[in-house]
Amino acid sequence: MAKIIDGKKISTEIKQELKEKVAAYKEQGIEITLAVVKVGNDPASAVYVRNKEKACEYVGIKSRTLALPEETTEEELLNIVEELNQDKTVNGILVQLPLPKHIDESKILLAIDSRKDVDGFHPVNVGKMVIGEDTFLPCTPAGIIEMLKRSNIEIAGKECVVIGRSNIVGKPMSMLMLKENATVTMTHSKTKDLKEVTKRGDILIAAIGKAKFVTAEYVKEGAVVIDVGMDRDENGKLCGDVDFASVEPKTLAITPVPGGVGPMTVTMLLVNCLRSVELNK
Ligand code: GUN
């Protein structure tokens, strides 16, 4: 029987630890504030932002959400980011992605002060992560590492296969697994014989964005499978990139959707808000 890795439970444990740290800061007169900027009306983004607000509230971090209209210009958004950069009461800045098409995402991410970049998306922080310097780590990959460690799953020396090469998940995930001494293979839509490659993975991480794409034939017997997907199945029901029903019996451990990686991502954002205070002391 596969172990079901309970991301909700692990993230609750971490949030309890964070609550105590936030309270200790409060006693020293330090309030932590996260500014979240949302542009437009993407329904998924609205849910994500609400979850981030709730998580902040839970641990005692102040959240300030700026919900801007779809028509917001790039210049207006850059000005808002600059105001938040200058605002000494703001510790972390997060601009929810995706942004409307008329705004250049990379320009906005570059404008965020790298010392307040709690998403870990600023090129300076990406660079620091790659060379192993202490900095903000992107929330989803960092959450997966934390989840594996807290589930006592050994990473060093293991074959890790990552499916997907996005800047938010696939690429940083591969770097963080490498830092943990896994042997890492990055795969993507142009990979030849994908199933043969993914079957090498002792740890298989699916971040493709296609509902139930990973079926049993992609998975090695006894693998640990991490599902980053947040997709909808043919009935509109939330599901992952992994076909849980067919894959689960083959695995040693697997994350469900929902209740796996998702809660960890939000929790690592809180971790980064605290790191912001520590890194900027
Ligand atoms: N959109 C989807 N995931 C993320 C994330 O981790 N951070 C931000 N800013 N936007 C996202």
**In tens digits, what is the pLDDT along the chain, a chain of 281 residues?**
899 999 999 999 999 999 999 999 999 999 999 999 999 999 999 999 999 999 999 999 999 999 999 999 999 999 999 999 999 999 999 999 999 999 999 999 999 999 999 999 999 999 999 999 999 999 999 999 999 999 999 999 999 999 999 999 999 999 999 999 999 999 999 999 999 999 999 999 999 999 999 999 999 999 999 999 999 999 999 999 999 999 999 999 999 999 999 999 999 999 999 999 999 88
Ligand 1 lining (C-beta closer than 6 Å): 94-97, 119, 139-140, 168
Atom of ligand 1 nearest to the CA of 98: 1
Is 147:12 a contact under the CB 8 Å cutoff?
Answer: no
| 86 given a catalytic annotation | no
pTM of the complete model beyond 0.85 = yes
Q: Which residues pair with 248 in a beta bridge?
A: none
| 96 given a catalytic annotation | yes
| 179 given a catalytic annotation | no
Residue in 84, 168, 273 to alter for ligand 1 test, most ligand atoms within 8 A of Cβ = 168
Evaluate the omega torsion of the peptide bond into residue 256 and state whether it is cis, within 30 degrees of 0.
no
Give me ligand 1 centre to Cα 191, in Å: 26
Residue-level pLDDT at 281 = 82
**Letter for the amino acid at 5?**
I
Contacts of 127 (CB under 8 A, 6+ apart): none
Burial of 19 (0-12, 13-18, 19+ CB in 10 A): middle
Token pair 């996260």 is found at 34
The residue whose CA has the least distance to atom 2 of ligand 1 is 97
Distance, CA of 124 to CA of 130 (rounded, Å): 10
Radius of gyration of the chain (CA): 19
Distance, CA of 231 to CA of 9 (rounded, Å): 22
In terms of phi and psi (left: phi > 0; alpha: psi -120 to 50; beta: otherwise), the region of 181 is: left
The residue whose CA has the least distance to atom 1 of ligand 1 is 97
Residue-level pLDDT at 243 = 98
The residue whose CA has the least distance to atom 11 of ligand 1 is 97
The residue whose CA has the least distance to atom 8 of ligand 1 is 96
Residue in 39, 48, 110, 126 to alter for ligand 1 test, most ligand atoms within 8 A of Cβ = 48
DSSP label at residue 258: S
Residue-level pLDDT at 1 = 80
Give me ligand 1 centre to Cα 33, in Å: 18
Is 177:184 a contact under the CB 8 Å cutoff?
Answer: yes
Residue-level pLDDT at 129 = 98
Is 162:174 a contact under the CB 8 Å cutoff?
Answer: yes
